[in-house]
Protein backbone atom coordinates (compact mmCIF):
# COMPACT_ATOMS: atom_id res chain seq x y z
CA UNK A 1 0.00 0.00 0.00
CA UNK A 2 1.19 3.55 -0.59
CA UNK A 3 2.35 5.61 2.38
CA UNK A 4 0.70 8.72 3.71
CA UNK A 5 -0.63 11.17 1.14
CA UNK A 6 -0.27 14.93 1.33
CA UNK A 7 -3.73 16.49 1.28
CA UNK A 8 -2.96 20.12 2.09
CA UNK A 9 -0.53 22.60 3.53
CA UNK A 10 -1.26 23.52 7.13
CA UNK A 11 -2.12 27.06 6.09
CA UNK A 12 -4.77 25.76 3.69
CA UNK A 13 -7.01 24.81 6.61
CA UNK A 14 -7.52 27.50 9.25
CA UNK A 15 -8.57 26.53 12.79
CA UNK A 16 -12.18 25.40 12.63
CA UNK A 17 -11.79 24.76 8.93
CA UNK A 18 -12.23 21.70 6.77
CA UNK A 19 -11.28 20.41 3.39
CA UNK A 20 -12.43 17.55 1.18
CA UNK A 21 -9.60 15.40 -0.13
CA UNK A 22 -9.32 12.24 -2.14
CA UNK A 23 -6.84 9.65 -0.95
CA UNK A 24 -6.51 6.38 -2.83
CA UNK A 25 -9.90 6.95 -4.41
CA UNK A 26 -11.54 7.50 -1.05
CA UNK A 27 -13.25 10.77 -0.12
CA UNK A 28 -11.80 12.06 3.14
CA UNK A 29 -12.86 15.05 5.22
CA UNK A 30 -9.81 16.74 6.77
CA UNK A 31 -10.71 18.88 9.76
CA UNK A 32 -8.79 21.28 11.93
CA UNK A 33 -9.65 21.90 15.56
CA UNK A 34 -7.29 24.48 17.02
CA UNK A 35 -3.89 23.23 15.99
CA UNK A 36 -4.96 19.60 15.69
CA UNK A 37 -5.90 17.93 12.43
CA UNK A 38 -8.26 15.00 11.99
CA UNK A 39 -9.38 12.92 9.03
CA UNK A 40 -12.60 10.97 8.67
CA UNK A 41 -14.42 9.33 5.78
CA UNK A 42 -16.60 11.84 3.97
CA UNK A 43 -19.50 9.42 4.23
CA UNK A 44 -22.06 9.60 7.01
CA UNK A 45 -22.80 6.18 8.46
CA UNK A 46 -26.52 6.95 8.51
CA UNK A 47 -27.22 7.42 4.83
CA UNK A 48 -24.01 8.53 3.12
CA UNK A 49 -24.26 12.28 3.73
CA UNK A 50 -21.20 14.36 2.75
CA UNK A 51 -19.69 15.14 6.15
CA UNK A 52 -17.14 17.63 4.78
CA UNK A 53 -20.10 19.86 3.90
CA UNK A 54 -21.34 19.77 7.47
CA UNK A 55 -20.89 22.32 10.20
CA UNK A 56 -17.79 21.83 12.35
CA UNK A 57 -18.26 23.07 15.89
CA UNK A 58 -15.44 22.28 18.29
CA UNK A 59 -14.69 18.59 17.85
CA UNK A 60 -18.11 17.83 16.39
CA UNK A 61 -19.16 17.69 12.79
CA UNK A 62 -22.84 17.75 11.91
CA UNK A 63 -24.03 15.82 8.90
CA UNK A 64 -25.72 18.23 6.49
CA UNK A 65 -28.27 15.61 5.44
CA UNK A 66 -30.17 14.69 8.62
CA UNK A 67 -28.14 16.31 11.38
CA UNK A 68 -26.30 13.41 13.03
CA UNK A 69 -23.20 14.55 14.88
CA UNK A 70 -19.83 12.80 15.06
CA UNK A 71 -16.75 13.37 17.19
CA UNK A 72 -13.99 14.01 14.66
CA UNK A 73 -11.32 12.74 17.07
CA UNK A 74 -12.50 9.15 17.20
CA UNK A 75 -15.42 8.99 14.78
CA UNK A 76 -18.01 8.25 17.48
CA UNK A 77 -21.61 8.91 16.53
CA UNK A 78 -22.92 11.42 19.09
CA UNK A 79 -26.52 11.70 18.00
CA UNK A 80 -29.22 10.02 15.98
CA UNK A 81 -29.99 9.16 13.30
CA UNK A 82 -26.41 7.81 13.04
CA UNK A 83 -25.39 5.06 15.44
CA UNK A 84 -22.27 3.62 13.80
CA UNK A 85 -18.94 5.45 14.07
CA UNK A 86 -17.41 6.96 10.96
CA UNK A 87 -13.95 5.59 10.06
CA UNK A 88 -11.07 7.83 11.09
CA UNK A 89 -7.60 8.09 9.59
CA UNK A 90 -4.29 9.02 11.10
CA UNK A 91 -3.03 12.49 10.24
CA UNK A 92 0.65 13.29 10.20
CA UNK A 93 2.10 16.80 10.13
CA UNK A 94 5.42 16.89 8.33
CA UNK A 95 6.83 20.39 8.25
CA UNK A 96 4.06 22.46 6.68
CA UNK A 97 2.36 19.50 5.08
CA UNK A 98 -0.74 17.67 6.25
CA UNK A 99 -0.58 13.99 5.35
CA UNK A 100 -3.25 11.35 5.77
CA UNK A 101 -2.75 7.62 6.24
CA UNK A 102 -5.70 5.64 4.93
CA UNK A 103 -4.28 2.17 5.30
CA UNK A 104 -3.79 1.99 9.04
S1 LIG B 1 -27.00 10.88 6.08
FE2 LIG B 1 -26.03 11.81 7.78
S3 LIG B 1 -27.57 12.00 9.25
FE4 LIG B 1 -28.54 10.98 7.62
Q: Are 94 and 8 in contact (CB under 8 A)?
A: no
Q: Along the 104 residues of the chain, how does pLDDT read in single tens digits?
A: 567 999 999 999 999 999 999 998 999 999 999 999 999 999 999 999 999 999 999 999 999 999 999 999 999 999 999 999 999 999 999 999 999 999 75
Domains annotated for the chain, with CATH where assigned, are 5-101 (2.102.10.10)
| Cβ of 68 below 6 Å from ligand 1 | yes
What pLDDT shows up at residue 104? 59
| Cβ of 80 below 6 Å from ligand 1 | no
Spacing, Cα 1 to ligand 1 middle (Å): 31
| Cβ of 65 below 6 Å from ligand 1 | yes
**Helix (H) and strand (E) counts for the chain?**
0, 9
| Cβ of 63 below 6 Å from ligand 1 | yes
Query: Looking at ligand 1, which residue's alpha carbon is closest to its atom 3?
Result: 66
What pLDDT shows up at residue 18? 97
User: What are the φ/ψ torsions at residue 90 (nearest 5 degrees)?
Assistant: -70, 135
pTM score of the predicted model? 0.95
Amino acid sequence: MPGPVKVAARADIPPGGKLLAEVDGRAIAVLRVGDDFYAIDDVCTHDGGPLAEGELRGCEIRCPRHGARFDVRDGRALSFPAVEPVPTHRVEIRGDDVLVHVDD
